[in-house]
Structure 1
Amino acid sequence: MNQEFLNALNEIVETKGIDKEVLIDTIEQALLTAYKKNFGQARNVEVEFDRDNGDIKVYSTRTVVDESDYYDSFLEIELSEARKISPSYEIGDVIRNEVTPSNFGRIAAQTAKQVVVQRLREAEREIVYNEFMERESEIVDGEITRATPSVVYVDLGKIEGVMPRSEKIDNETYKEGQRIKVYVVEVKKGSKGPQIIVSRSNKGLVGRLFELEVPEIEQGIVQIKSIAREAGSRTKMAVKSLDDKIDPIGACVGPKGSRVKNIVDELGDEKIDIIKYSDDFAEYISASLSPSKVVKVEVNEEEKSALVVVPDYQLSLAIGKDGQNARLAAKLTGWKIDIKSESQYEEDLANGVYDKKEESELEFNDEFADFSDEDLFADDIEEKEETVEE
């Protein structure tokens, strides 16, 4: 070992943030193992690394004992013999003798370098792990390095992220070299280093994209209260403004729909319904079924269920294709929602199907009930659309 190695060691400590004493202790333990492996299984051997010049020395140690307790010549030395070396020795003292083999330098150098390389890898893995732990539930940019039907690998700079089939968008195409925004779902330690699980289908991706696009959300003026998503097809998002002067839906949509358009483009034309959150359950549930009009809402807070009545001609719109609109509304609000047409409801009512119970009933005018995105774009587009889409 030499000063050059020591200088390199110090540089690694400074640049990689590794604790120097921990590193040297590890080197000493590895050297001790190497010594025992090559020169015998001595139990009383210590290896010392000189912090100043990088020299490595091996010492045998023996404990000073009384003549009556003397048992093992390898581990112990009698007090009378110890005092021949130095009169100051007392019982319990440890005497060290250097026993560094002449050819130990080569073994020591090789062992020390292996330890440093290993610790360096571990330190770098720890740095990457800590960095991405802080970015869990955040969006990161990456480049696809390999795509298979079951998994997509994304280069995130210092490490490769993994996007399993369950985190992909079904109708999205992934190609090698493609730049992509992904959501960090989970960061965990593995035997070969950190494992970063990323997603394109997680609803958190939508929320983070809106944070990037909408300053009012980033500033905390507008809050995202809930998101329900069927990736690649449709998303519903409930928002609330803490400032009465700011329309939360308008802030998310942006001038001429520019903000939501950027997000729709990023998600491959996924439809996005933005609705206004309300602490009034009936009002919130009604808005969640947008773009359908709602005539009446009866809520059962105890069971967290709601009966929603819609015009006959709006029933299919309220339920949605394959039940998607109703399904997303239920996910968004966390309520079980039963949708009936007016005629169905009146018939059931006449037949005594519904018992009298606590309810919250709202009569909605057309402007509120038709809470679809044509109202958001009224100044910019003439034809009405049922959802925010580009």
Structure 2
Amino acid sequence: MARRKSAEPQVNLIDAFTEFSRNKNIDRATLMGVLEEVFRTMIRKEYGSDENFEIIVNVDKGDIQGFREREVVEDFELEDEMRQIPLSEALTIDPDYEVGDDLAEEINFFSFGRKIVQTAKQTLTQKIRDLEKAATIAQYEDMVGTVIIGEIYQVWRNEILVSHEGTELVLPKGEQIPKDRFRKGDTIRAVITDVQTKNGNPRIIISRAAPLFLEKLFEQEVPEIHDGLINIRGIVREPGERAKVAVESYDDRVDPVGACVGMKGSRIHGIVRELRNENIDVISFTTNDQLYIQRALSPAKITRIDINEGDRAAEVFLNPDQISLAIGKNGLNIKLASKLCNYQIDVYRETDGEEEDIDLDQFTDEIDQWILEEFNRIGCDTAKDVLELSMEELVRRTDLDVETLENVLAVLNAEFEEDEGDA
């Protein structure tokens, strides 16, 4: 079938699409399909139909050609101008045409009306945007769980916008470490946790507070985890404050805790710095619940544990000097241990049947440190030292007001009443 070429220049848009497809990983078939559909839409608007038209997308040459195919008929037999061309007209194109031949005449897209061309341009622009959004979503869905390094370009009150390879990522306030302080232009490391769509646009969520971020940092710093010799069985975090990581080894020759910490803490120090000096406890996982709880409450030393497996509850008994260690600052140690072991853990003071005295240092979770220091100043180091003094004597010897002293005495008395109840 002979083809008649137009002398007019063709619409050269493929270059932009080819570059776009390379940047956004859009496959060749999708690219060609989009272009063909756009130009077929132009043809339908101009001619009413595209049934006998052929579109050729030449990615290598960087152009698009359209051909209108018609059958050569005798002049007096012309019935359908869309699909037929009279012989007299065909002979002006090529004197070798005969009745029954198929003639393919190249279309000059520039001859189309301005409105049609403008509509096509808008359609192409929208197709580019849609393809870009779809490609971005597909790319980052495959990257969920991956740690990225990006550059901060906008710091807002409730979120930080991060640029990663030309794509905008979002770090919400709730996914930041409370101690994080970033400014525009800073480099940031975070893990991709979710890919959403908001108002038709991709919204890629990253996090520094998620346990997954800590897990991925361990994978990067500890080759044995990356290689599968050590498995992370559980992670709980209070971002920027404390974390507990349970690990186990599939090789008896590899100490999972030692491998994660590294020689003189070499491996874990980098993770701690990245997490704004978050205190990380690495423990060895075990299926023995009692031993697991004991390890989770480290560094406190436990004397005994009573477990109710049905209620997932554990009563932990410790010597008085270990209580504060088990509870931890602001109750974080026991809170994280409970989450890690999936047990409701309650701590109790172990007694030998006689009423024991308690060092004031054990009350740091309930009484402010400066108040305890005031008692130490007047020679009161234990709870009984304070309780043996009258209110008048305490007021006279300390700089504390009556209300503060009453609150302190209530806390100290409650401790001894609890011991009597346990007995």
TM-score, structure 1 length as denominator? Answer: 0.69
Deviation string, structure 1 residues 190-226 (Cα, Å, up to 9, x no partner): 4554321011111111111111111111111111111
Matched residue, 1:284:
292
Displacement after TM superposition at 1:103 (Å): 3.1
Aligned residue among 192, 197, 202 for 2:205: 197
Pairwise CA distance, 1:104: 1.0
Q: Please identify which structure carries the higher helix content.
A: 2
* RCO higher in structure (CA 8 A, sep ≥6): 1
Distance 1:102 1:307, change over 3 A: closer
Report the Cα offset of residue 287 of structure 1.
Answer: 0.5
> 1:241 maps to which residue?
249
User: Does structure 2 retain, via aligned residues, the 8 Å contact 1:28–1:48?
Assistant: no
Aligned to 1:181: 189
Letter in 1 for 2:64: G
| 1:138 maps onto 2:128 in alignment | no
Matching of residue 224 in structure 1 with residue 227 in structure 2: no
Report SS of the residue matched to 1:188.
Answer: strand
Alpha-carbon shift at residue 149 of structure 1 (Å): 2.0
- Distance (whole Å) between structure 1 residues aligned to residue 347 and residue 237 of structure 2: 20
Shift of 1:132: 1.9
One-letter amino acid of the counterpart of residue 180, structure 1: I
- Code of the residue aligned with 1:56 in structure 2: it is G
Counterpart of 1:339, as a letter, is V
Structure 2 SS opposite 1:210: helix
**Alignment partner of 1:164 is 2:172:** yes
Q: 8 Å contact 1:50–1:56 — kept in the other structure? A: yes
Q: Is it true that 1:15 corresponds to 2:22 in the alignment?
A: yes
* Cα distance in 1 for residues equivalent to 2:182 and 2:17: 44
Show the 5 A alignment for 1:251-330. Answer: 251-330=259-338
Query: CA 1:21/1:332 → structure 2, altered by over 3 Å: closer, same or farther?
Result: closer
State how far apart, in whole Å, the 2-side matches of 1:131 and 1:26 are.
Answer: 20
Task: String of CA shifts for 1:244-302, please: whole Å, max 9, x gaps.
Answer: 22211111111111111111111111111111111100000111001111111122222
1:85-141: CA deviation from partner (whole Å, max 9, x where unpaired): xx99xxxxxxx9999998317666555554444434433433333332222112111
Specify the SS of the correspondent of 1:292.
coil
Q: Residue 159 of structure 2 aligns with which residue?
A: 151
RMSD: 3.8
Instruction: Say yes or no: does 1:54 pair with 2:60.
Output: no
Q: How many angstroms apart in 1 are the aligned matches of 2:303 and 2:172?
A: 43
SS in 1 for 2:64: coil
- Structure 2 residue matching 1:5: 3-state secondary structure: coil
Separation in 2, partners of 1:204, 1:102: 56
Contact 2:133 2:202 in 1 (8 A): yes
Cα distance in 1, alignment partners of residues 337 and 236 from structure 2: 8
**Where in structure 2 are there 5+ consecutive unaligned residues?**
1-7, 71-79, 83-98, 355-423
Secondary structure of the residue aligned to 2:302 is coil
Point out where structure 1 has 5 or more consecutive residues left out of the alignment. 61-72, 76-86, 89-95, 348-390
Aligned partner of 1:125 in structure 2 is: 133
Q: Specify whether residues 121 and 231 from structure 1 end up closer, same or farther in structure 2 by C-alpha distance, changes over 3 A only.
A: same
Deviation for aligned residue 1:165:
1.0
CA drift of 1:8 comes to 3.0
Secondary structure at the counterpart of residue 49 of structure 1: strand
TM-score (norm 2): 0.64
Judging changes above 3 Å, is the alpha-carbon distance between structure 1 residues 267 and 2 closer, same or farther for their aligned structure 2 residues?
A: same
Give the Cα separation in 1 of the matches to 2:290 and 2:50.
79
